[in-house]
Structure 1
């Protein structure tokens, strides 16, 4: 099978939390697959969980799962995409056949292999220079010049959407939007609180503003991030602390209608039910390290009729929801440019993760061409 050589950020697990920029061999797309030239890739906290040793994946791993780019080759049987199409990549690559998929809930697919960094057939198209298999994280491997994915995971997008913005729709923005629209089903006039003003938290805040929620309370430990959250649509910003529930209750008249945790820390996840009013919804969007357990007062939960919701990929149906988010951006309803704090080349990927660990930046995006920046139609 023919292959091409690509540069990629690879995690091998033998050099601490450092990624190496390596030359890999990428095979041509097979039946039902497409090759995409990546133009932008987001730096997400899920990748950090892996390279910090909190989640286990097959190694060596081609990191990254937020990607947007251009289709440059198609395999046999691909009918809905053409060379030159601008696409956003969906990392949760559902099987398309199980009861959950055919019932309109691909995010709940029971046969998904992308969580194990495998393409639907259980294999990979990446290999190292010595011929060993390399595994694309979440079956994407976005931090690579080119990727091969199933055709149904490449969602066509209006070419007016800049690649850096489009890449975030594939995970952080899409997840935040889905948590509000699909999971919590927030309606105009409902109150909401968002714990964590990072990339996903900011996406939740922007989507809450789009939904007409009020008040929208952002919670973080960084005054700078709270200021950014207010620009994104938050009406109030609070520094987290032990008395957070009392302060939220005061601002909302008894607790928020919907609360979102966008960090993945056990301590803040355990706080979430206490931030909502009786009958409210608590949505767990952030992902904690493996094996973590929560302590929640079950009696109070039942007595107050509160609902706890686990948000897997925001309950997204990518083919439906990605274009909706893109159109909202183009209409000026979702100011997604504001979510991107930094753009870097692939060679600066380790510095991007270091900044994330320090709590700096809202979202860093790796760009593979100098003109791949927000506000430019490419």
Structure 2
């Protein structure tokens, strides 16, 4: 069908002081838009930062940007998917016309809108994944998911896995190189497996011994504290970033991906950068190609790595507040089944 009869859906709305369940009218879709029934949403660390006050976000809002679901209605024939398709979707919705989009940085579009980050009082009310349905406007990148891939494996592709693909792009060729992953959360563990699959010698550093042990199941070796060719930081800790910079060998590259909240500055010695041919770069969000690579990577490695074990069993949507908190060290993602 091209349109869906206007009705109600339910969303868990962040009000600034807690979660409230709202009944929200399902709008008529604009051309190119999609209405998706959310089957599973995983809880990204950035949402935990929002509710803890560490990160500013629109309020009230429907949070959640890491999810998998099925298309139940399309705006018109120009929509990026068809009714019945099982998909994951990008965090960012770019305009596709500004200079940033034209230069390939659509994730930093000058008028970007973001899934799970928009006000519930705006025109795009159903913008987050902590709801029974989400509306995806034209311009949202989507990737189809095979029915054989479990929800708990597919959902993190929309943020964690795709971000890892972007970080590895920034790292360059890693085959035969030493790669240090700093932070063994969902992104760090995923990066360990992805870099290992690309032929790197991977080590992971985390303050939590259980997380470091878990990373070894996903291709990482014990960290020996020595020099490295590439360091990728997912921790966002200034002290950890400083230490990683100090471990780079000649021609080394430091990729920053976890510094998404205000923190103390680090010291950079320009002479050391020059004499040692060092590169320091950062990534924030990802491009559509990274989303598609994420799905392909999870599909190709599903039998090799126990991805499902990283996600906690889902709670109902009405119990979202109970999982908006840090998870036990062996579980890297909480989840909600709307």
What's the TM-score, normalizing by structure 2?
0.88
2:322 corresponds to 1:345: no
Superposition map of 1:1-378 within 5 A: 3-13=6-16, 15=17, 18-114=18-114, 117-118=117-118, 123-126=122-125, 140-153=127-140, 154-180=142-168, 182-214=169-201, 216-237=202-223, 247-249=224-226, 255-290=227-262, 293-314=265-286, 317-318=289-290, 320-329=292-301, 332=303, 335-356=306-327, 361-368=331-338
Distance, in Å, in 1 between the alignment partners of 2:76 and 2:122 is 18
Distance, in Å, in 2 between the alignment partners of 1:274 and 1:106 is 32
Give 3-state SS (helix, strand or coil) of 1:248's partner.
coil
Do the aligned partners of 2:65 and 2:115 also contact (CA within 8 Å) in 1?
A: no
Distance, in Å, in 2 between the alignment partners of 1:263 and 1:162 is 27
Distance, in Å, in 2 between the alignment partners of 1:233 and 1:147 is 35
Structure 1 unmatched runs, 5+: 127-135, 238-246, 250-254, 369-378
Do the aligned partners of 2:154 and 2:295 also contact (CA within 8 Å) in 1?
A: no
Give 3-state SS (helix, strand or coil) of 2:300's partner.
helix
Instruction: Please report the RMSD computed on the Cα atoms of aligned residues, expressed in angstroms.
Output: 2.7
Distance, in Å, in 1 between the alignment partners of 2:193 and 2:309 is 10
Distance, in Å, in 2 between the alignment partners of 1:305 and 1:316 is 31
Distance 1:91-1:73 versus aligned 2 partners, 3 A rule? same
Distance, in Å, in 1 between the alignment partners of 2:72 and 2:181 is 39
Distance, in Å, in 2 between the alignment partners of 1:343 and 1:230 is 25
Distance, in Å, in 2 between the alignment partners of 1:329 and 1:123 is 40
Give 3-state SS (helix, strand or coil) of 1:299's partner.
helix
Q: Which structure has more helix as a fraction of its residues?
A: 1
Deviations 1:102-148 (A, max 9, x none): 444423433323289359xx95332xxxxxxxxx6xxx411111000
Structure 2 unmatched runs, 5+: none
Distance 1:270-1:98 versus aligned 2 partners, 3 A rule? same
Do the aligned partners of 2:143 and 2:292 also contact (CA within 8 Å) in 1?
A: no
Distance 1:115-1:157 versus aligned 2 partners, 3 A rule? closer
Do the aligned partners of 1:105 and 1:315 also contact (CA within 8 Å) in 2?
A: yes
Do the aligned partners of 2:163 and 2:290 also contact (CA within 8 Å) in 1?
A: no
Runs of 4+ aligned residues of structure 1 deviating over 6 Å after TM superposition are none
* Deviating more after overlay: 311-320 vs 226-235: 311-320
Displacement of 1:229 in angstroms is 0.5
Distance, in Å, in 2 between the alignment partners of 1:287 and 1:146 is 31
